Amino acid sequence: MDTQQIIGKKIKDARQRIGISQEELGSRVGFSAMGISHFECGARKVGIEDLEKIARALDVGINYFLDSTISPTSNTGRTGNISYFRSSFDNFDENKRKEIFSATSKFEEFVKNLHESKTKND
């Protein structure tokens, strides 16, 4: 599962927990049921702004989704997820969240490049 799929699953879990349809969630955040379905299966990337809207509509904090990428730490050697060890992530303003998102993306990129350079050298 890549990060997008994990976030998608998180959206689905949270939506089902409060018992609303994809259509209902879509109408709350300005997407079609199909759009929500694409988010949930990870086929469509959710931007941070949309994720914030979805979080509000599902009555969860944004870190519910971001945290979903915290714990999966692959020790099976399959395409690795990323795990972040963080201090408290509550009460962060938008800028801080963006900063964190951007830093973690950069780290992912760094590891990807490292992996590519190692694969080339092999």
Torsion of the alpha carbons at 21, 32, 25 and 43, rounded to the nearest 10: 90
33 vs 70, beta carbon nearer other proteins: 70
31 vs 64, beta carbon nearer other proteins: 64
Q: How far is the CB of 30 from other proteins (least distance, A)?
A: 25
Please provide the DSSP assignment of 51-63 as one string: HHHHHHHHT--HH
* Contact set with other proteins (CB under 8 A): 1, 6, 9, 13, 17, 60-61, 64, 67-68, 70-77, 79-87, 89, 92, 96, 99-100, 103-104, 106-108, 110-112, 114-115, 118
47 vs 78, beta carbon nearer other proteins: 78
Helix (H) / strand (E) element for 15: namely helix 3-17
Q: How far is the CB of 71 from other proteins (least distance, A)?
A: 5
20: Cα separation from own chain's centroid: 20
DSSP state, 69?
G
Q: How far is the CB of 5 from other proteins (least distance, A)?
A: 10
Contact by Cβ (8 Å): 36, 25? yes
Q: How far is the CB of 18 from other proteins (least distance, A)?
A: 11
* Whole-number Å distance between alpha carbons of 36 and 14: 13
